[in-house]
Structures are given as C-alpha cells and as structure tokens.
Structure 1
Amino acid sequence: MKIMKVIFIIAIAMATVIAVNYSITFAGDKYEETMVTATPYVKPFPKRLSRFLAETKNPRAADHCNKDDEICYILEGKNSTCCNNKCMDLSEDKHNCGACKNKCKFTSSCCGGQCVNLTYDKRHCGSCGNKCMPGGYCIYGLCNYA
C-alpha cells in the first residue's frame, strides 16, 4: 500500500512540473511571436504562383516510356530498360532483376542483373562486387569470418 502512495505522489509531482514547464514555454512563444512580427521583412517568392498552390510534381510518376527503350537510354543511361511503362535499371532493381518482373527473394539482392544472397556469395560478400580472396569463403556477409 505504501508503494502505491509513493507512485501516486510521484505521478502528481511529474504532472505539476510538466504543467508549469508548458505554461512557461507557452508564455515564451507568445513573446517571440511579437518579436518576429515586429520586423517588416517580406520573403520573396521563389517561383511563379499558380491557382493550384498545392500542385507539385509527383516523385513516383512514371516516365511513360511505352516500350520505347531509347527514351530510357536518354533519361536514365545505358542500363535502363522500359518495364511496365517505367524506366528501370535491370542491374540493380530488386523487383526487376535482369528482366522485367523478375523479383528477387526476400533474403537476396540484385547485383549485376542476378539475384544473389549477400550473406553467403563469395563474389558479392556483404555488398555487390565485394569479392573474397581466392580460397576464402563468405559467411554472414564477411569474408573468412571466424
């Protein structure tokens, strides 16, 4: 029973401390707002305003290559190919590894267009292109572990 009383007293003390701190910070914010509004600085607009103020470019929008690989070569580079109307890098994309819609398993990654297990592959130990020494082995993504 004494433990419950002690816990209750500590909880009440914490609540009062938080309430006092909150009221002090709120009063401080009110003072800072008056200081900020007193300066007559108008920030210039970086771009032209339109009637759609919230309109921004969608970062997940497709490039719309429409099975035309030349668009992907120009936009992305040599390794990109048109998959599902989007430009994809088949050498690194985990969902399109080596070919369109070729998904790697959960534990493997795409390295050079092949699905490899980075924890046990000697050619890609821990990361793509990290080769172990000749005669060495790869365990848990480390060459010659243990």
Structure 2
Amino acid sequence: MPSIEFSILLHPYHTISPPPSSINIHFQLHFTCEVTATSTHNMKLILNAFFLLAIFMALAISLSATPSEEESSFDFSNNEDEENLDLPWLQSQETTSSLRGANRFLAQKTRAVMTCNKYPRVCRAKGSPGPDCCKKKCVSVLTDRLNCGMCGKKCKYPEICCKGKCVNPMSDKKNCGGCSNKCKKGSACVYGMCSYA
C-alpha cells in the first residue's frame, strides 16, 4: 500500500516577538497516512459534492441579485420613448410565469416583432393608438403631447395637444379644460373653467 508522510515544523514564537536566545524550541511532527482505493473514491465524492454545492450557491446568489420584473418596472429614466406611453396598451405585451420563485429565471418577455418604422401599416390596424409612426411607436400627432403636429414636437408642461397644436387648457377659450371645449361668448377661460368669476 502506498503511504504519504507529512512533516510539519511548528515554531511557538512565529507571530510573536522572537524568543530569548537561551530558549530555542522546535516541534517536528510526523504523520503517516495510508491511502487506499476506497479513501480516494470517498475523497472524489466529497470534492464533487463540494463543487456542486459551490455552483448552486453561486447560481442562487446571482438570481437573487438580479432585479425582478416588479423592481425593474420602477426604473425612472429620462428616456423620451418611455414618456410617449400615454396608454397602457402601448406597453409591450409580456407573459409571466405563475411560478413565484423561478419567475425571474423562467419568465420570458414577448416583444412585438413588427415595428412601425419597417411596417407602417401596423399603425393603421384596429386597436392601434394612432396612425402615425414616431420613433418606432404608433402615435396620433393630433393628440400626443410629445409629437404634437409632427414627430418630435413637444408641448410645454401646462400645454396639451389639440388637433396638432399645443394649447394651454387653463386659459385657451377654444380648448378650456380640454380639447374642443369652447367657452360661450363673453365668458373667459380661467384655471380651465369658463366664467370662473
């Protein structure tokens, strides 16, 4: 049988200050281990189990560190394309898994393959938010605040887009409080209401 010898030299004052010159202590230990076929097989099994455990721990840590769909939906960015979403239908349709723990790992988002920049007829389909294509999204340039009258023309903060023009609904007589809400003759539009006084 093969045998392995280990020799360990221990010095009691290794990390502390050096010993006095009169005392010099050394320990020498000899270990002899007999290696058999069953002990190497057991060692391989233990190493394989430890390796698999390390892989599963790394996978669990990486999955818990990735944001879930709920957390990532609250990402506030100044992306102009995201501001363009006035209707919830404009959001891309996605399927979610009913499995709670594996949701992040198994859920797959389905994206619309057809975009309006390549297929402009998509915007004229039934249920589309608008017939015009701006920045790969279907919009109506008659009512969209970010594309009022033409793609890329934004209305200022208090203004809304009515018939392709930016108007202030707080003071506009023809669009008082909303589009096409005209005030009667002799009344003014104040704070979005006709004849406020």
TM-score normalised according to structure 2 size:
0.42
Give 5+ residue unaligned stretches, structure 1.
1-44, 47-51
Asked if 2 retains the 8 angstrom alpha-carbon contact of 1:62 and 1:85, the reply is no
CA distance in 1, matches of 2:118, 2:188: 42
The higher radius of gyration belongs to 2
Q: 1:109 aligns with which of 155, 160, 179?
A: 160
Rate the CA distance shift 1:112–1:105 in 2: closer, same or farther, 3 A.
Answer: same
Q: Give the alignment partner of residue 53 of structure 1, picking from 106, 109, 113.
A: 106
The aligned residue for residue 94 of structure 1 is 145
Shift of 1:100: 0.2
Distance 1:84 1:144 in 2: 41
TM-superposed CA distance for 1:123, in Å, is: 0.7
In the alignment, residue 118 of structure 1 is paired with which amino acid? Answer: P
Output the CA distance in 2 between the equivalents of 1:62 and 1:92.
26
Number of equivalent positions: 99
Q: CA deviation at 1:128?
A: 1.4
Cα deviation 1:79-138 (Å, max 9, x = unaligned): 520111211111111100110000001121111211000000011101112111122210
Unaligned runs of 5+ in 2: 1-96, 99-104
Counterpart of 1:143 in structure 2 is: 194
Judge which range, 129-138 or 73-82, deviates more.
Answer: 73-82
* TM-score (normalizing by structure 1): 0.56
Please tell me whether the aligned partners of residues 129 and 138 of structure 2 are also in contact (alpha carbons under 8 angstroms). Answer: no
1:7-86 equivalences in 2 (<5 Å): 53-57=106-110, 64-66=115-117, 68-76=119-127, 79-86=130-137
1:63-86 Cα deviation digits (max 9, x unpaired):
611165322112555952011121
Identity of aligned residues (%): 43
Aligned CA distance change for structure 1 residues 110 and 77 (closer, same or farther; 3 Å): same
In structure 1, give the amino acid aligned to 2:174: R
Q: Runs of 4+ in structure 1 displaced over 6 angstroms?
A: none
Letter in 2 for 1:56: K
The corresponding residue for 1:16 is none
2: CA distance between counterparts of 1:62 and 1:105?
33
Going from structure 1 to structure 2, the CA distance change for 1:106 and 1:88 (only over 3 Å counts) comes to: same
Task: Decide whether the 8 Å contact of 2:170 with 2:176 is kept in 1.
Answer: yes
